[in-house]
Amino acid sequence: MQYLLTIILGTIGGLLARFYMLRRDYRQYPSYPQGWAIHLFIGFIGAFLGSIIVPSVLEQEFAAVSFLLLAASQFREVRNIERSSLEKIEATELVVRGSAYIEGIARVFEARNYLSIITSLFISIVSELLKFNLTLRLIGSTATGLLTAGLLNYLMRGPSISDIADIKLAEINFDGPILDIGGVKVSNVGLDSVREIYQKYGVAAEIHPKDPDAKATLSNIGQMQAIAHDVSSMVGVRMDVGEQEYTPLVRRDPVSGKLVIVIVPSEDDEQAFLEAISNVPVLEGAIRKPLRSVAGRMMD
């Protein structure tokens, strides 16, 4: 087994890369340790596949390589698994994620397995190239693994709301029963007692897009729902099942394109609230870039 070390190095490297990417993600996928076991195992399969590509090519087993690539296509199934399981638990969320957010999460989980495959592939290439010296081989493989995983992770990191918009606190006003945040009419709150709770405990913010691209991105309904979900899952929401009055709301000002969000959090901490909004990821499916078009630039 002359390739044993390469396969072991590649597999471990790919698995560690998957683990590293899993760690950064517990907020989106909170069901560890079971969820971790599932993803680490799929990551292990991916890492193993990646690491045996090089030995197969060296042995000129091209049939084996084709089969490996065929096996890699199975990872598309990961996206379906993620999507359906998140859709199933959607009904149990006080504030729903929305289908756009679920799709984004599912896509990320699929992509991460490919990253794990690529990492282990690179490690095994380096390991085979540095075969003449064991120390060099170990150091080279480790460095390649760290570099690849770090770089891919960096490249895959999408922007968050604070990158595309300015966020500031806003006042909660009532115009009769109409809840008004920064000039945007948000909803009709019927009861005096509920209005009092909003005045007392509610927090609100305005999200001002920085440019026309951001404006178009923030106008996506899925993005708005993702903000509502993430913020309420981070700062908590003071509501029970069926209390629709306290549902966190995100609304858009059609003139300026700014968003307003209002929520009655479990803890009244305005800084935490702003921090939560800043960290909401910009959904891949929501990103629009009108400035890349001639018409979009003419409007700017």
Binding stretches for other proteins (CB under 8 A)? 176-177, 188-194, 241-245, 247
Q: In this complex, which beta carbon is closest to other proteins, that of residue 159 or of residue 190?
A: 190
Considering the complex, what minimum distance in angstroms separates the CB of residue 194 from other proteins? 8
Q: In this complex, which beta carbon is closest to other proteins, that of residue 164 or of residue 186?
A: 186
The distance between the two most distant Cα atoms of the chain, rounded to a whole number of Å, is 80
Q: In this complex, which beta carbon is closest to other proteins, that of residue 31 or of residue 84?
A: 84
Per the structure block, which two tokens stand in for 168?
């500031």
Round to whole Å and give the CA distance between 257 and 40.
Answer: 41
Candidates 42, 49, 51, 44; CA nearest to 68 is 49
Per the structure block, which two tokens stand in for 117?
């495959």
Cis previous bond, 265, omega within 30 = no
- At 232, which amino acid appears? S
Considering the complex, what minimum distance in angstroms separates the CB of residue 56 from other proteins? 48
Round to whole Å and give the CA distance between 232 and 58.
Answer: 53
Considering the complex, what minimum distance in angstroms separates the CB of residue 180 from other proteins? 14
Q: In this complex, which beta carbon is closest to other proteins, that of residue 17 or of residue 189?
A: 189
Q: In this complex, which beta carbon is closest to other proteins, that of residue 175 or of residue 300?
A: 175
CA distances from 203 to 5, 96, 171, 189, 286 (A): 57, 20, 8, 15, 26
